[in-house]
C-alpha cells in the first residue's frame, strides 16, 4: 500500500542522480543516495532512475510516491522532455516511460521549480506567500511559487526568466551575446558563473575561476572589483524587472553563486533606480537547503 508520510525525490543532474526520502512528519531526509549519471544513452538513464527507486523502496520497506526534478521540462503538448542540457533526454517520453516501468504515476518538474517549492515549503521562503526562487550557477533558472503552489504556466514555461534579455543595458554591455537557446543577450549570458569567467578572460586576458574573482574583489583587486560591480548592477536590474511584473514577497537565491554576500547587501541598495515605485519591501534571501533543494523539492511535488 502506498504510504503518504514519506515521499521519494530524485534530482536528475548532468553528472549525478540523487535520490532522497523526505519524511513529512519531521520534514527531514531519512535516506539519501547518489550515483553518477549515465551519459549519452537514454535507456541507461531510464534504467538507472528506476533501479534507484526500486532499491530505495526495498531498503525502506515502503511503497512511495515519486517526484523527479530534471534540467528542462516536460512539454505540455507532446509530453516529452525539452530544453534539457543532458541532451539525450530531449524529445523522450521520460514521464510515461518511468511510470510504465514502475507501474504507478509519478511527477516530473523543472529543477528550478523544485528548488523554489522546496524553499517555499520549509526553507527560507516558508513565511512568504509569493516566492521567486532563482538558481544562479552554471545556468540561470527560476521558479515561481504562490501560496505554496508552483506556477507552471499554460506552456509550462513560467519562470524561464533567465532567457529574457538583460534589461537596461549599460554602455559596457552593448555587444551581442549568443545563447545556446537560440536567442541573444539572455540574462544567463550575463550573470551565470561561466559567463562571468568568460567576460573576465575577455577583459583582462587571464583565466580566473569565479571563486578567485569574488575573493580578490573583496581584497580590493581593481579588475575583479570591476567585474563584480557589473554583476551586482545586472542582478539589481534583473530583480527590479521581476519586482515590476511579479512583485514577490521574497526572492530566494540558490546555486553556486548564492554564496556571494554582496547579493544580499548591495543589490537592494541600488535596485530602486529601476523599480517603478522607486522602493521595494521584497526580501532577498539565501536558500536554506543548499544542495538538498533538488531532491527535497522533487519529493514535495506529490505533497500539497
Ligand atoms: Zn537563452
| Torsion over CA: 165, 170, 172, 176 (sign) | positive
- 29 beta partners: 22
- Indicate the domain borders of the chain: 6-114+292-300, 127-287
Q: State the Cα–Cα distance between residues 302 and 46, nearest whole angstrom.
A: 20
Q: How confident is the model at residue 154 (pLDDT cuts 50, 70, 90)?
A: confident
Alpha helices for the chain (secondary structure H): 42-60, 94-102, 111-122, 188-191, 193-204, 210-218, 222-245, 262-265, 267-270, 293-300
Task: Give the DSSP per-residue string, 12-80.
Answer: E-SSEEEEEEEETTTTEEEEEEEEEPP-S-HHHHHHHHHHHHHHHHHHHT-B--EEEEESSEE-TTT-S
Ligand 1 midpoint to CA 303 (Å):
32
Contacts of 95 (CB under 8 A, 6+ apart): 74, 79, 106, 108
Ligand 1 midpoint to CA 279 (Å):
29
Ligand 1 midpoint to CA 192 (Å):
11
CB 117, CB 289: distance < 8 Å: no
Q: State the Cα–Cα distance between residues 20 and 223, nearest whole angstrom.
A: 42
Ligand 1 midpoint to CA 269 (Å):
28
Q: How confident is the model at residue 77 (pLDDT cuts 50, 70, 90)?
A: confident
Contacts of 252 (CB under 8 A, 6+ apart): 116, 119, 120, 123, 124, 125, 131, 132, 133, 134, 284, 285, 286, 287
CB 115, CB 143: distance < 8 Å: yes
Ligand 1 midpoint to CA 180 (Å):
6
**Interstrand relation of 73-74 and 140-146 (parallel, antiparallel or unpaired):** unpaired
Average pLDDT, the chain: 95
Q: State the Cα–Cα distance between residues 174 and 121, nearest whole angstrom.
A: 40
Same fold, 6-114+292-300 and 127-287: yes
Average pLDDT over residues 261-272: 97
Taking a 5 Å cut-off on Cβ, the residues next to ion ligand 1 are 163, 179, 181, 183, 186
Average pLDDT over residues 147-162: 91
Q: How confident is the model at residue 64 (pLDDT cuts 50, 70, 90)?
A: very high
Ligand 1 midpoint to CA 183 (Å):
5
Least confident of 122-131, 174-183, 266-275: 174-183
With respect to CATH, is domain 127-287 assigned 3.40.50.1110?
Answer: no
Q: Specify the 3-state DSSP secondary structure of 278.
A: coil
- Is the confidence at residue 83, as pLDDT, over 90? no
pLDDT value of residue 185: 97
Ligand 1 midpoint to CA 186 (Å):
5
DSSP 125: T
pLDDT value of residue 86: 83
Closest CA to 161 of 135, 180, 138: 135
Ligand 1 midpoint to CA 83 (Å):
10
- Is the confidence at residue 219, as pLDDT, over 80? yes
pLDDT value of residue 132: 98
- Is the confidence at residue 4, as pLDDT, over 90? no
* Count of beta carbons in the 10 Å neighbourhood of residue 180: 12
Q: How confident is the model at residue 147 (pLDDT cuts 50, 70, 90)?
A: very high
pLDDT value of residue 181: 85
Ligand 1 midpoint to CA 188 (Å):
6
Quick one: fold of 6-114+292-300? Nucleotidyltransferase; domain 5 (3.30.420)
pLDDT value of residue 281: 94
pLDDT value of residue 93: 96
- Is the confidence at residue 157, as pLDDT, over 80? yes
pLDDT value of residue 123: 96
Among residues of the chain, what percentage have pLDDT more than 90? 86
Ligand 1 midpoint to CA 260 (Å):
23
Q: How do residues 228-243 score in pLDDT, each as one tens digit? A: 999 999 999 999 999 9
Amino acid at each position: 500500500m502506498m504510504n503518504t508520510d514519506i515521499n521519494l525525490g530524485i534530482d536528475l543532474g548532468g553528472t549525478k542522480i540523487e535520490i532522497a526520502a523526505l519524511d513529512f512528519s519531521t520534514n527531514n531526509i531519512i535516506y539519501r543516495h547518489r550515483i553518477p549519471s549515465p551519459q549519452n544513452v537514454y535507456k541507461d538513464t531510464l534504467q538507472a532512475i528506476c533501479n534507484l527507486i526500486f532499491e530505495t523502496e526495498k531498503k525502506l520497506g515502503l511503497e512511495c510516491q515519486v517526484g523527479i526534478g530534471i534540467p528542462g521540462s516536460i512539454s505540455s503538448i507532446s509530453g516529452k522532455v525539452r530544453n534539457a542540457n543532458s541532451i539525450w533526454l530531449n524529445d523522450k517520453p521520460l514521464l510515461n516511460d518511468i511510470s510504465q516501468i514502475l507501474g504507478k504515476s509519478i511527477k516530473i518538474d523543472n529543477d528550478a521549480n523544485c528548488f523554489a517549492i522546496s524553499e517555499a515549503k520549509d526553507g527560507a521562503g516558508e513565511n512568504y506567500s509569493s516566492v521567486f526562487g532563482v538558481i544562479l550557477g552554471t545556468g540561470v533558472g527560476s521558479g515561481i511559487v504562490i501560496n505554496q503552489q508552483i506556477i507552471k504556466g499554460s506552456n509550462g514555461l513560467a519562470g524561464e526568466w533567465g532567457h529574457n534579455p538583460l534589461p537596461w543595458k549599460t554602455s559596457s554591455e552593448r555587444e551581442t551575446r549568443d545563447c545556446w537557446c537560440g536567442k541573444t543577450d539572455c540574462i544567463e549570458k550575463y550573470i551565470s558563473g561561466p559567463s562571468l569567467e568568460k567576460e573576465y578572460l575577455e577583459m583582462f586576458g587571464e583565466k580566473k575561476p569565479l571563486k578567485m574573482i569574488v575573493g580578490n574583489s573583496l581584497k580590493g583587486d581593481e579588475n575583479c572589483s570591476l567585474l563584480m560591480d557589473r554583476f551586482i548592477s545586472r542582478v539589481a536590474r534583473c530583480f527590479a524587472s521581476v519586482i515590476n511584473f511579479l512583485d514577490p514577497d521574497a526572492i530566494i537565491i540558490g546555486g553556486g553563486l548564492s554564496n556571494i554576500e554582496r547579493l544580499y547587501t548591495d543589490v537592494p541598495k541600488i535596485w530602486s533606480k529601476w523599480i517603478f515605485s522607486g522602493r521595494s519591501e521584497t526580501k532577498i534571501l539565501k536558500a536554506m537547503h543548499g544542495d538538498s533543494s533538488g531532491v527535497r523539492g522533487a519529493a514535495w511535488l506529490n505533497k500539497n
